[in-house]
Amino acid sequence: MVDMLKTRQCLLGVRTFLGVTSRLWSFFLYILRKHIRTIIQYQTVRYDILPLSPISRNRLNTVKRKILVLDLDETLIHSHHDGVLRPTVRPGTPPDFILKVVIDKHPVRFFVHKRPHVDFFLEVVSQWYELVVFTASMEIYGSAVADKLDNNKGILKRRYYRQHCTLDSDNAIPIKSWFSDPSDTALLNLLPMLDALRFTADVRSVLSRNLHQHRLW
């Protein structure tokens, strides 16, 4: 009887040890993935902004500062809430931030993943354009995400949400939807084109050719 009791106590101790070890290992993997993802997403990137020549400076002075409208979901970020059964992000991938909002009197958590290089992209293009962000999602969600991306810099002050959206033809630049690829460089690939377009008086001729080719950056 004593031996059986000792055996049970020993097994209980082993199970407890394995349980604690498993939780510690899971936590370690979570931290490791988050650290690696941070390195990949926020590694030093370069887009050389050279001083403008006198001709370019004069040209820029003759055209009005343009407005660049940026889509939010699947362009700048990807998110899913805790009610989603099959999130598109690989399980265990840590979000960049978590938002807690109340929708119809129910608290909802959104796990938000920032597209690689989005902070650098916003920093650069905000020097060239007046930025507007829009989303077909609810304002309580879109506003909270925009606040996080803006990070008190005042570059995303103009925002439009679900109630402002209408279907219309526009001067658009196609971009592939982003969900979880940590090696994505689509935002960086857009910079040369956006740099050039700010000198263009009428962007429609350039963008119409781009849309005709259906090129996704």
Among all residues, which ones are annotated catalytic? Answer: 71, 73
Distance spanning both ends of the chain, measured CA to CA? 72
In whole angstroms, what is the distance from residue 13 CA to residue 164 CA?
A: 60
Q: Token pair of 9, please?
A: 């106590």
Query: Computed from CA positions of residues 217, 165, 107, 143, in that sequence, does the dihedral angle turn out positive or negative?
Result: positive
CA distances 198 to 93, 165, 206, Å, are 37, 25, 12
Give CA 137 to chain center in angstroms: 15
In whole angstroms, what is the distance from residue 108 CA to residue 105 CA?
A: 9
| Number of alpha carbons in the 13 Å side-chain half-sphere of residue 190 | 26
CA distances 125 to 20, 49, 157, 193, Å, are 48, 11, 14, 11
Q: Token pair of 92, please?
A: 């265990």
Q: Which residue has the tokens 């290992």?
A: 25
